[in-house]
A = this chain, B = another copy of it.
C-alpha cells in the first residue's frame, strides 16, 4: 500500500481528495495547518472527516507565520471578506483573499513530512476555478514545485499531484457524491460564523457547485 500526504483544510475540495485517495487505496496521512486564519471552523470538520474515514490526521499550528503574511482578508481581520458572486470572475476584488505563498509553504511542510515517513506522494486540492485568482493553484506551479522539491530532497520518486486542477467545483461535488463524502462536515465560508454566511465569494461558489452538479446541498446558509 502506498502512503500519501494530503494538505487537508477541511474544506470541500480537500475532503473529497481524502476520500478519493482512500478509495484509490492510499494509506492517507492528512495534515491541517493553522496559519493564523480568521477562523478554524474548517479544522473541526477535518477532524470529523478524518475520524469517519479512519485516516491519520495531524493538526499543525504554524500560526506565528501570520506575523509575516499580512494583508489578506483570510488572516487579517482589518481586511474585509469580499462578497462577490463567483470565484472565476472579479479577480481584482478576490485578490484580497490571497495569502502570500500559502500553498508553497503548505506543500514544503507536507513534503518534509512525506520524507520523514517515506510517503513519496503529496496531494493537494487546487481546482480549476482557483487558477484565475491564485497563482499557487496553477498546474505550471505544481509541476515546477515538484521539479524543485525533487532536487531539495534528492528524491526522484517524489510526486506532487493536484488531481482536481483541471476540474471545476461542480465536478468535485459530483465525485464526492459518488464517493459518499459527508458534505455536511465540510466548511467553505470565509467569514466563519456559526453557519455558512451564504454571501461571501466562497459560499457563492459552493452554492453554485451543488446547483450545477445536481447534488443536494446539505449546507445551512444564513442568507
Contacts and interface: CB of A to CB of B under 8 A. Distances in A.
A178 interface: no
A149 B116 contact: no
A103 to B, nearest CB: 7
Interface of A: 31, 58, 60-62, 64-65, 67-71, 99-105, 107-109, 111-113, 115-116, 135-136, 138, 140-141, 144-145, 147-149, 151-154
Contacts of A102: 112
Given A100-B115, A109-B105, A144 B141 contact: no
B148 A103 contact: no
Nearest to A107: B108
Which 5 A-B residue pairs are closest in the complex by CB-CB distance? A100-B115, A101-B112, A144-B148, A135-B154, A68-B113
Contacts of A104: 108, 111-112, 148-149, 152
A135 B138 CA distance: 26
